[in-house]
Amino acid sequence: MALKMRPGRMSDEPGVGDRVRLTVAGRACEMVQEGLVLEPVAADCITIKLVNGYNVTHPLTDIESVLLLDSAAESSSAGGSAEAAAGEETPQPDQQTGLPLVVLLHTGGTIASRVDYATGAVTARFEPEEIIDAVPELRRIACIEAVKLGNMWSDDMRPRHWNRILEASAEAFAGGAVGVVITHGTDTMHLTAAAMAFGWAGSGGRPPGRVVLSGAQRSSDRGSTDAAENLIAAVHWAARGPTPSGHRDAAVIVMHATASDGVCAVIAGCAARKSHSSRRDAFESIDQPPIATIAIEAGGCSISMSENAAGASEPAADRPLVSQPTLYSEQTAIAEFVANGHMQPRFVAAAIGAGADALLIHGTGLGHLPLDDPAGDSPENTELAALFRDYCAGGGIAVVSTQCISGPVNMDVYAKGRDQQQLGLIGHGASAPPAIALVKLHHLLSRGLDAAGIQAVWASDLVGENPLSIRE
């Protein structure tokens, strides 16, 4: 049966993205439901997204009437109904729709997945166009172009993939995009976010548009999914957020601010950490508050900037606009070690012998390593000290971060730390957590810096990773 439309609608059926009110014939009584029209999951059916986020599908034979509440085509031509929040940049409109151009760079992850009910496993199945069709609200925020870079779990990401994302984002900006949204698995999203930040701004510049990473903790076909709101908020920031300064905001992560719906946090890509394996508010901002929050409401999104968002914790001088990012050397190899009772000199020596370009050690507390043997029963400690002394004296690069979630590396407090500095270990005065330190080290190596060059800039604040407040 054809849908019975009220007068004023020319076509026989509503289109994807239209907001409608359905009257549905139930077994006991009629039901009235409102929502956005999605691509139908089966022939002769209509699928809508309800205001609570759930999707429902009805056979056309059960539809008594359809009232068109809002046309997606009319909203797009009008530039959207929601006004930008105070202080937000007025984006350059797309010539055809009047909306800003945002390019969706699709890499995969849970946001592009659904449950395989035959096995119970979550598998990557969605194409970027399917994600956009599943969240029709996006078309009211921006003109969306989708580019598929891959469909992979974030655990499989390598620096070569960082380069592909950087190159694709540069192409998007050259093509007129005001922002890019990178859909990404959450497990290593903080690494890629840091890579985007250092790639675009680590040499002192700023990107030509907004760079946003987002994903999901729950697959898109689950009732508890966070995918839609995360993506809506991410596209809103990419389209209407403030012009990036290159300090803290060169790349950001947009994900749920709490376990509940309604608000997403905008976290600096240089200061993010995934701190929970399954909660929807899995990401936290380390040593600095989030840049902003984004409220997702029926009438649209609104941005609330943090008090220190304009200048961040350390005022950034005006940075030049760059059109091409600094890419990462794909041949660089960094060996990582954790400072504890199982750190063995033979393993460190093996990494050095295998040609590691640098060593990154996750130190304890203020950045300490097991290098002393006061009881005379742990010769491996003194072997480690001698190994690091010889390695650093020969120009080797050994950097110490801290295993702690927050706080700086400070090798001036204890005699042990001062001894480590004498050995040539780098790290004093920096506060970046290990994951961010890894990316920063790779960025500096890709720029050709040697041990002395890295020592000179390691404690500096390149993109907001070393806030002044944590060092005071």
Q: Are 254 and 79 in contact (CB under 8 A)?
A: no
Catalytic residue of the set 18, 187, 287, 461: 187
Cα separation, 250 vs 238, whole angstroms = 12
187 is known as an active-site residue: yes
62 is known as an active-site residue: no
Catalytic residue of the set 47, 274, 287, 402: 274
**Sign of torsion over alpha carbons 247, 253, 256, 259:** negative
Amino acid sitting at position 337:
F
DSSP characters for 8-63?
T--SSSPPTT-EEEEEEE-SSSEEEEEEEEE--SSTTEEEEEETTS-EEEEEGGGE
- 45 backbone φψ class: left, alpha, beta (φ>0; ψ -120 to 50): beta
295 three-state secondary structure = strand
Alpha-helical segments (H) within 63-221: 72-77, 128-134, 138-141, 159-174, 189-201
Q: Are 20 and 67 in contact (CB under 8 A)?
A: yes
Q: Are 409 and 366 in contact (CB under 8 A)?
A: yes
Catalytic residue of the set 47, 107, 186, 293: 186
Cα separation, 168 vs 180, whole angstroms = 9
- Measured between alpha carbons, how far is residue 120 from residues 80, 123, 187, 277, 430 in Å? 39, 9, 20, 18, 44
Cα separation, 64 vs 128, whole angstroms = 34
Q: Are 150 and 108 in contact (CB under 8 A)?
A: yes
Print burial letters for 3-19: b (CB count within 10 Å at least 16), e (below 16): bebeeebeeeebebbbb
Catalytic residue of the set 47, 97, 107, 110: 110
Just list the catalytic residues: 110, 186-187, 274
